[in-house]
Structure 1
């Protein structure tokens, strides 16, 4: 299939057309970094309230939204997304041709593009990045670090028999062919992920990007990942003050339109109340993950709330490395104990949809007839009794959740924990709360070790492909879920390689039923993340997959 080029500089107008919000102009009241006179030139410093520090400035070793929010300003991939959608679009690749069997993909590259250190972006640079990922060994090739590459490309140089990637070959300076060992229907849209952004080969080598230390549970960053991220994007890195802020500035030699924002400060404010207060005081221009209780009050005060379409999943996961959770009756009982409607009404944002499976209903393969476990506390008690638990011998589980963080699918983890633990208590389940800071402690514990019980986690879809949800969760053995299920793993492996959409849809509908009957956890809800902005922000390029580049922000002053 041939895809024609589309420049990112078109995104501003297109995004407004698909629903970016137009706000009322008034004087900026930010405490620092710009003009306050409405008649003055536009203040190009944009301060965004981030819910946490980035985990790593190298997006190839990251998996969290705050890291990727920063990464999308610095880096670009071969593939982007159509504005306002989750669908793939040209970016550094102006066009591409894929073979009928999906095993070969040839990309025509954008010319006259340079990395921030002056290194040319060309076919050699593309192959350097693909070969870098494939050749990771040791700690770099673990789930807690190269999460996305491991999940989607399935193998490295030392596990070549399972690897999706085969080779990358330059066809001159501005054309490159990538060969796969096995078909992967989501290959093109997957390349829109920040984890697969193009990075400067010069900087990667100079600053020892793969020099990761520590352990899988507690990895340490490389020199590159701490302070030398080098991409082709519209903004270049200036400074990271951990726990405080990340500062970026406009890249003067950027190939596309640069927009009004010429400096970005991502100010770390982990407390949701403090983020709201920062917006109200004028010390930030906007923030994401607005708490449900704050939305109405902010709107009433003249701030405009922007909701993304719900392309998320919040779930309660069961770690089957815990013996008690290996019993399907226990997993079924826990599912019947959860009142999703009450959870949504009490603590989740307006626009949130109840989940019946681990994908939103707009994703290919959503099954309208999937098995569900409706709220039924009496049934939950009966199943627990059959499994050998009663008042004298209650089921007791650790319940892990993160603190001091808001995520698009999980705006207030503590409130969610409080509601769910209360519901579980009503059927006789005792939960021991276990908390960790989000990054890196919680993520490393949940995805890199078996040391956790039932736990809260979720996902914001990265692109519109079913494998990006259920394939990432259940495509193979995982420290998070702690189970072996060869039938499910094989079914997902087959489905991700089927090029015909109709055939693939039927396979994924069957897979979602398999998952429902296996009960790895409880799909709770599809929250609709909400952002809030200062009145000086006329439009913001809201994206269901958070592909929001700040060159597309329109300011009134």
Structure 2
């Protein structure tokens, strides 16, 4: 393989996102594999879609990952890429042709056979998306990894880097791209590119999304069980939206190790206190994203509370086109000096949290030691606002509700701290709280917020998965156009030599922070809690837990 797998394992990764808990229903304790009581995993927020191709959030992927598999996965409990539906993979020297040797005797949940034709049917489906499918709220990851589509309907979309898929035989698929990219092979491990049954894909075509970019109506098949079909150890059986509960059932024809419980339930409990209390009451077996102040308390009570390694960035973003004042770097720098990042890290994040200096954690190769932190300095902030000639600056400040993120354990509390900091230097803040799914994600991505809180947990172990996600070209969510930034990031992403690429990442980070499109706040190690009677799955630094491993003691 042209890009070494050992390189990917070098950096310990940590969370792709999601707040979920494990809850058990019923009074009788079951045994491994006997289907006694369901293993209930309580989520911090509702998923967006049962089709992971149409999602970009961890709340969705935590659910769909149990039912769908990609060509490449990650080792249990680690960050090294490992065989998924492909037993082996390799690329040509140019990095433009990827060959996958596929597993045999794999069945989809609807009884269809998995083969190379199914792989190509999926990739060609995404490449040929039209209409609403081309909104980045729907096809976010396709656009991040493969750029545009067969026929772009938006002039701002770049030409697609996808050059086709060939089924050489039943168990050999070849995916081609026009030019090498640092997004591969990691992109092939994304849940958004998990493989669906061709029979299901045909059914999807009868039920398309509708609406506008800021008000999308998702296809019916994505909102209720019955149509989607993957190859995972569980199949999706039911989505009871009234009870905020998704039920998955053990797939008896799974090609690998069978699930140890017959039912897995994801239930949304949208407050951290509610999740903790349910665990303590014995109603659930665990939950993700434990509040920093609860970690020791739960451990002292005998609960299992493993801590993940740092693999995320939390940031405050500017949308320049939404608020013209942000076009002046002095204003952006004034806001950066106004925010007390150390206060947030010390009082809102778990032990091990760090103040960020750039848009990737220091656990990723390509992090630049040359970049100095922007100090909290209200006097300097006021001075810069005066120099910019800005008086009575008003800002729409968006923040999410009903959710907890690995990089942002208490969004409303963090917002209040930042609001106070900004008002302390004379900036008026207009709060705009929004429900995480779908309102907040779609509004921020559509460039409708002046300031907003967001972050990122790495999908795979390469610096481009961080800075390339945001700064490889114009995006509405940032609303700025600076070719110096774009060229620096693109140059790094196109470099096939890993050592050279790492050095280019360092330079790109320096260019990004010189422009200051937003304010990196922190990186932090999130915790996950499990009950005393649970054999938990291996905790993943990428939050890619496989709940087929879970059982009751």
TM range (shorter): over 0.9
- Give the match for residue 339 of structure 1: 340
- Give the match for residue 317 of structure 2: 317
- Give the match for residue 237 of structure 1: 236
Q: Deviations 1:187-225 (Å, cap 9, x if unpaired)?
A: 111111100100111012124376111221121121321
- Give the match for residue 68 of structure 2: 75
How far has the Cα of 1:435 moved from its partner? 0.7
Alignment partner of 2:493 out of 481, 496, 510: 496
Distance across 2 between alignment mates of 1:283 and 1:474: 44
- Give the match for residue 248 of structure 1: 248
Whether 2:466 is the aligned partner of 1:469: answer yes
Distance across 2 between alignment mates of 1:371 and 1:89: 36
How far has the Cα of 1:551 moved from its partner? 1.4
Q: Deviations 1:363-395 (Å, cap 9, x if unpaired)?
A: 121000114311112111111111123xxx322
- Give the match for residue 167 of structure 1: 164
Alignment partner of 1:400 out of 384, 398, 401: 398
Cα pair distance change 1:259/1:282, threshold 3 Å: same
Does the residue aligned with 1:305 lie in a helix, a strand or coil?
Answer: coil
Whether 2:448 is the aligned partner of 1:421: answer no
Give the alignment of 1:258-273 within 5 angstroms. Answer: 258-273=258-273
Which stretch of the first structure deviates more once superposed, 206-215 or 185-194?
Answer: 206-215
- Give the match for residue 389 of structure 2: 388
Distance across 1 between alignment mates of 2:333 and 2:207: 43
Instruction: Give ranges in structure 2 of 5+ residues lacking alignment.
Output: 6-12, 15-21
Whether 2:331 is the aligned partner of 1:330: answer yes
Does the residue aligned with 1:483 lie in a helix, a strand or coil?
Answer: coil
- Give the match for residue 278 of structure 2: 278
Give the alignment of 1:34-433 within 5 angstroms. Answer: 35-36=28-29, 43=36, 45-159=38-152, 162-208=159-205, 211-226=208-223, 227=225, 228-243=227-242, 244-321=244-321, 322-389=323-390, 393-433=391-431
How far has the Cα of 1:404 moved from its partner? 1.2
Q: Deviations 1:509-547 (Å, cap 9, x if unpaired)?
A: 110001101101110011211111110113331112111
> Would you identify which runs of 4 or more consecutive aligned residues in structure 1 move more than 4 Å?
2-5, 37-42
Q: How many residues align?
A: 532
How far has the Cα of 1:257 moved from its partner? 0.3
Alignment partner of 2:524 out of 524, 527, 532: 527
Length-normalised TM-score, structure 1: 0.91
Instruction: Give ranges in structure 1 of 5+ residues lacking alignment.
Output: 6-17, 20-28
Does the 8 Å CA contact 2:30/2:37 hold for their aligned counterparts? no
Cα pair distance change 1:537/1:203, threshold 3 Å: same
Does the residue aligned with 1:267 lie in a helix, a strand or coil?
Answer: strand
Alignment partner of 1:459 out of 456, 459, 469: 456
Does the 8 Å CA contact 2:23/2:41 hold for their aligned counterparts? no
Aligned-CA RMSD value: 2.3
Does the residue aligned with 1:56 lie in a helix, a strand or coil?
Answer: coil
Does the 8 Å CA contact 2:2/2:92 hold for their aligned counterparts? no
How far has the Cα of 1:44 moved from its partner? 5.4
How far has the Cα of 1:84 moved from its partner? 2.6
How far has the Cα of 1:42 moved from its partner? 7.7
- Give the match for residue 10 of structure 2: none
Cα pair distance change 1:536/1:97, threshold 3 Å: same
How far has the Cα of 1:361 moved from its partner? 1.0
Give the alignment of 1:436-447 within 5 angstroms. Answer: 436-447=434-445
Cα pair distance change 1:473/1:429, threshold 3 Å: same
Distance across 1 between alignment mates of 2:32 and 2:186: 44
Does the residue aligned with 1:162 lie in a helix, a strand or coil?
Answer: coil
Does the 8 Å CA contact 2:368/2:506 hold for their aligned counterparts? yes
